[in-house]
Copies of this chain bind each other. A is one copy, B any other.
Amino acid sequence: MRHAVPQQGSNAERSRHHNRQAVLGQIHHAGTMGRAEIARMLSLSTQAVSNIIADLTDDGMLIEKGRRSVGRGLPAVQYAVNPNGAFALGIEVRPDAVFAALLDMQGRVVMTERKSLSDAHPDAVLRTVTAMRDAAMTAQPSARKRLLGAGIVMPGPFGRTGIAGRGTDLPGWQQVDARALFAAALELPIEVGNDANAAALAERIAGAAQGLTTYAYFYFGAGLGLGLVSGGRLLHGAFGNAGEIGHIPLRTAQGTVPLESALSRLSVQRHMAQAGKTADDIETLDHLYAATDPDLTAWLASAAFALDHAVAIVENLFDPQTIILGGAMPATILDHLVAHTNLPTLSVANRSDRTQARLIAGASGRMTATLGAAALVLNRTLTPEIAQAY
């Protein structure tokens, strides 16, 4: 989890850094832009933007895209983010395997890899991860000098005291500073986050949340996670554990249970197991769904019921532009849930002037969190830092 940046003053150097990030972010967002347009957006002089663009172009982060004429006047030279200008490594550590993905600046997947893990202690994980970084650099040699950093997704909470009796699934990680360990082993800037947060940002870099600044993301992992993005930045909470929506109580006819006991991959696995069926992976679930399996259908009904509740809570607490549903589920099931959720009437999101659907499907599949890990890094590069007040 990234620690909150302490309050900082501003000086020329930090202004420069901020402005470069802001320019990159604007161009990434718009796809292609001219100097004057950027200057207007950021309330900077065109000269300042010119200087920044010259820098970024020299660094290979931007490329010229010809001139574009819009009415009178000299047509503006357009700039776009160079996809190969930089790369980000995403690493997802699970108890039994490590996943890696290399993304370019446009969020496109350059390479992915999976390695089994027989031992999830820090030493073994760090060795594996280092080897995967090397493999990625071999596969894409141009990324060697242009690697922005690595994003790590691990089961949390870690590094801090968590809920009594819960904690990371990974042995030997409770008392260590994961960020520092990875930084030392990989010799890269590191972002550490949980799966839901990472996946939420992945949608923003190259997914359903492009162009959104304030949205919520439900992530189907083993449990149910929530990524909250406000003003383009992740909300971490005071101790880095915001978004544990799976824990909130759901009052059903059978009693009060945690939300994720009705709405998660573990929940569907358990439900199917009671019917004597296995549904341990995404492909199986997809087949069961295609076959309109009655047990799966029953689970979907109870999941949609739980989702109604979760949507009502998140909409009224955050007032997001939209809610995205994604994660380790087949796309068909995500689409089904989106289609079959009863959006609450009593919600601040129930507005007559909406332009955005209230609930949409995002990226799905096994790699979602791994791509998200890389997105943690890309987002940092495209979004000016926010300092803590006080």
Contacts and interface: CB of A to CB of B under 8 A. Distances in A.
Nearest to A320: B238
A389 B25 contact: yes
Given A163-B351, A249-B344, A22 B42 contact: no
Contacts of A23: 9
Q: Chain A at the B interface: mostly helix, strand, loop or mixed?
A: loop
Given A249-B344, A317-B244, A389-B232, A164 B15 contact: no
Interface stretch (A54-62, A122-130, A288-296, A379-387): A379-387
A239 B316 CA distance: 11
A334 to B, nearest CB: 21
Nearest to A20: B9
B18 A238 contact: no
A226 interface: yes
Given A317-B248, A347-B247, A389-B383, A10 B18 contact: yes
Contacts of A243: 317, 319
Given A8-B43, A9-B48, A383-B389, A164 B249 contact: no
Interface residues of A, number: 82
A350 B163 contact: yes
Between A25, A231, A245, A383, the greatest number of chain B beta carbons within 10 A of the residue's beta carbon is seen for A231
A237 interface: yes
Contact of A348 (B29, B157, B231, B312): B157
Contact of A384 (B19, B48, B241, B387): B387
Interface of A: 4, 6-12, 14-15, 18-19, 22-23, 25-26, 29, 41-44, 48, 157, 160-164, 211, 213-215, 226, 228, 230-233, 235-249, 251-252, 258, 309, 312-314, 316-321, 344, 346-348, 350-353, 382-384, 386-390
Given A215-B238, A242-B318, A248-B312, 5 more contacts: A9-B44, A9-B48, A161-B352, A242-B319, A243-B317
